[in-house]
């Protein structure tokens, strides 16, 4: 992908209940799908994502917010030329629960990190990662990554990962 997209060009930002996203073709520079606080009973399937940051839950728990995300199914989707495939991100110091989240039958091509989970997410524009080993984090229950297949790309950073 030779295009450069600005940040915050999410394809879909889901924070509601009982939502179906189906048969989409998304090309962007941020999350293809981001599932936020309060999301329940969401299905995202039969879609293609190109560029950007893949299929994300979060970020959850910023500034100590209490997260509540439940019953999310992401299936039968391909991710191409992206930094991430499936990603979960919550902030240090956040609270709450993310439960019953499944990524299933995910094909990826030239993806640097097919599965990426962090509970120490931070705003890289504001400085280094916080040192907070005693902070609370969002609790995770029944998180499933099933049937992932494809190719991994070398990570060629624009910004270094810490």
Mean pLDDT rounded to a whole number for the chain: 88
Contact assessment for residue 22 and residue 48, using Cβ atoms and an 8 Å cutoff: no
The answer to whether 139 is a known catalytic residue is no
The stretch 96-114 carries a mean pLDDT of: 97
Query: Are the CB atoms for 49 and 77 separated by under 8 Å?
Result: yes
Whose tokens are 């893949």? That residue is 54
- Higher pLDDT pick, 71 / 126: 71
Catalytic annotation, pick one of 53, 87, 89, 107? 53
Of 64 and 88, the structure prediction assigns the larger pLDDT to: 88
Give the span between the Cα atoms of 95 and 103, in whole angstroms. Answer: 23
pTM: 0.87
What single DSSP character describes residue 30?
A: S
Beta bridge partners, 86, equal: 55, 115
What is the C-alpha to C-alpha distance for residues 88 and 84, in angstroms, rounded to an integer?
10
Structural domains of the chain sorted by starting position, each given as residue range(s) with its CATH number in brackets = 12-152 (2.160.20.10)
């Amino acid at each position: 992908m030779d295009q450069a997209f600005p940040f915050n060009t999410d394809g879909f930002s889901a924070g509601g209940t009982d939502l179906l996203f189906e048969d989409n073709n998304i090309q962007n520079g941020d999350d293809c799908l981001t599932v936020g606080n309060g999301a329940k009973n969401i299905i995202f399937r039969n879609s293609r994502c190109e560029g950007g940051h893949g299929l994300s839950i979060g970020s959850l728990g910023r500034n100590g917010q209490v997260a509540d995300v439940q019953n999310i199914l992401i299936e039968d989707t391909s991710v191409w030329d992206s930094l991430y495939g499936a990603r979960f991100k919550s902030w240090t110091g956040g609270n709450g629960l993310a439960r019953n989240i499944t990524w299933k039958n995910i094909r990826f091509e030239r993806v640097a990190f097919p599965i990426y989970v962090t509970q120490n997410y931070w705003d890289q524009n504001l400085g280094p990662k916080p040192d907070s080993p005693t902070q609370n984090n969002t609790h995770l229950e029944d998180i499933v990554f099933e049937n992932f297949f494809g190719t991994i790309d070398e990570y060629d950073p624009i910004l270094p990962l810490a």
